[in-house]
Amino acid sequence: MTTRTTIDYSMYVAGAWVESDSGGRIEATSPATGETIGTVPEGTRDDAQRAIAAANAAAREWAGRSAFDRAAAMERVAGIIEKRRDDLAHTLTLDQGKPLRSESYSEVEELIEYWRMAAGDARRLEGLMPPSVDASKRVLAYRVPRGVVGVITPWNWPYTMAAEVVAPALASGNTVVWGPASATSVCSVKLAQCVVDAELPAGVFNLVTGPGSVVGDEIAANAGTHAIGFVGSVATGYRVAERAAGKPLLLEMGGNGPLVVLDDADLDAAVEATLAAAFLCAGQSCTAGERFLVHEDVHDEYLDKLATAVSKAIRLGDPFADETTMGPLNNEGTAAKMDSHVGDALERGAVLVSGGARAQGFPTDLYYEATVLDRVNDEMEVAREETFGPVVPITTIRTEDEALAIIDSSPYGLLAAVFTRDLRRGLRFAEAARAGWVNINESTNYWESHLPFGGRAGSQSGIGRVGGRFSMETFTELKTVVVNLG
């Protein structure tokens, strides 16, 4: 790991790169190296208010442009990202901590797709022409932008989780005020530079860096934002919903995605999927497999295969090294939660199969061993809560119905997976499981960016759907126009 230059970045408001009113700055420290890699402005409520005012001033003109004009702007953003993929990927590894070769480049490639997809969806955003009771009248129901969309995004996927909201909001004719997570603000500025260099009109896109409790709160509560797109934790999502009461909300929140291995499962495939479910992004994913429900008839064989696979396939190390498959956790809060959940599980009788502690000999204390826990029960924090770390908590089940009951009892309802050789059985299980998305014979961390993704009603996993045109359903509304031809 080499020393890198520290850069003082700015935020973007009303068509200009600016400093915060406060004059304060937030230091960005790399979880991979421990180095200070830059600073960003410590935004205030006044900064957020200026950005919201600028977005409102630009809203009518941007909404009045043709869908094809806005789509061309999205394509320009995608082209700029493509040209800067190396810098964006390296920044992601440095700022977030994920491995360069195995994960960062993949996120940048998906980022490009989000902007191109938004361009295509904008061109196909259609309204209705319902019939009138009066033969001399024609009814048009246009799908029109909400106005100003406030966007609040997390640190685990700082490019794609932002793009899945910002891109469709802009493409469908809204202006945007974006408050990114402070922990990966350098990544956010790098992405913002790509949007800015695509030459959107001043005020259409705004970035305000700073504490979520200040900037994000103002974006959610301010009367000048007309819809909110949020991706992040359950606690923060509830706070956003409270502050944004009365506005259209797209909330993509937490999960502890159960991966179920039934007695007729292909165990080699289930083990491979387990690695992806638990250790992608070091487990810091809302779709991470955080409960592994394994049938008693295959438990021992599954566990043996898993222990071998973890020792061979998971390489914790310098995220810039080609051989590394898992980098550090992003922040101390997440690492401390891993400590707490693993410790609680062991105290309550779980069996440690591998890992279980922070790794030694690295530049920071955020590198955590790939952990496998057996004999996990419902009383343990690692089973009840979202751990957000590299852990496989295994619970033995006796029946399919027992697995469904465990899923039903969870406060989450985002994503689940089931492994079985009987596709009829798998489909019945998927339809019965209380989750917004279910994979059959695939990892919990498998999803496609154009498909509707979000939490099941009544769960703590959110409301609305991200994914291609489905995000646009939240960020637009139907406007009815009646024409009298008589």
Specify the pLDDT at position 2.
47
Q: What burial class does residue 447 get, using C-beta atoms within 10 Å of its C-beta: 0-12 exposed, 13-18 middle, 19+ buried?
A: middle
The answer as to whether 458 is a domain residue is: no
Residues 248 and 341 in one domain: no
How many domains does the chain fold into?
2
Residues 47 and 80 in one domain: yes
The answer as to whether 297 is a domain residue is: yes
Residues 265 and 182 in one domain: no
Residues 123 and 241 in one domain: yes
Residues 262 and 194 in one domain: no
Which residue among the candidates 103, 286, 386, 400 is catalytic per the annotation? 286
User: What global pTM score does this model have?
Assistant: 0.96
Mind listing the pLDDT tens digit for each residue in 114-163?
A: 999 999 999 999 999 999 999 999 999 999 999 999 999 999 999 999 99
Can 199 be counted among the known catalytic residues?
A: no
Amino acid type, 205: F
Q: How far lies 104's CA from each of 95, 195, 326, 381, in Å?
A: 11, 19, 11, 30
The answer as to whether 137 is a domain residue is: yes
Which residue among the candidates 252, 290, 385, 400 is catalytic per the annotation? 252
Residues 156 and 69 in one domain: yes
Residues 299 and 168 in one domain: no
CATH number at residue 417: 3.40.309.10
Give the range of the structural domain holding residue 214, as residue numbers without chain letter: 7-253+464-481
The answer as to whether 459 is a domain residue is: no
Strands (E), 369-450: 371-374, 391-397, 415-419, 437-440
Residues 219 and 326 in one domain: no
Mind listing the pLDDT tens digit for each residue in 363-402?
A: 999 999 999 999 999 999 999 999 999 999 999 999 999 9
CATH number at residue 125: 3.40.605.10
The answer as to whether 268 is a domain residue is: yes
Q: Are strands 137-145 and 227-231 parallel, antiparallel or unpaired?
A: unpaired
Residues 430 and 469 in one domain: no
Residues 171 and 296 in one domain: no
Extract the tokens encoding 145: 């932008």
pLDDT at 4 over 70: no
Residues 103 and 240 in one domain: yes
Can 187 be counted among the known catalytic residues?
A: no
Residues 383 and 247 in one domain: no
Three-state DSSP state, 264 = coil
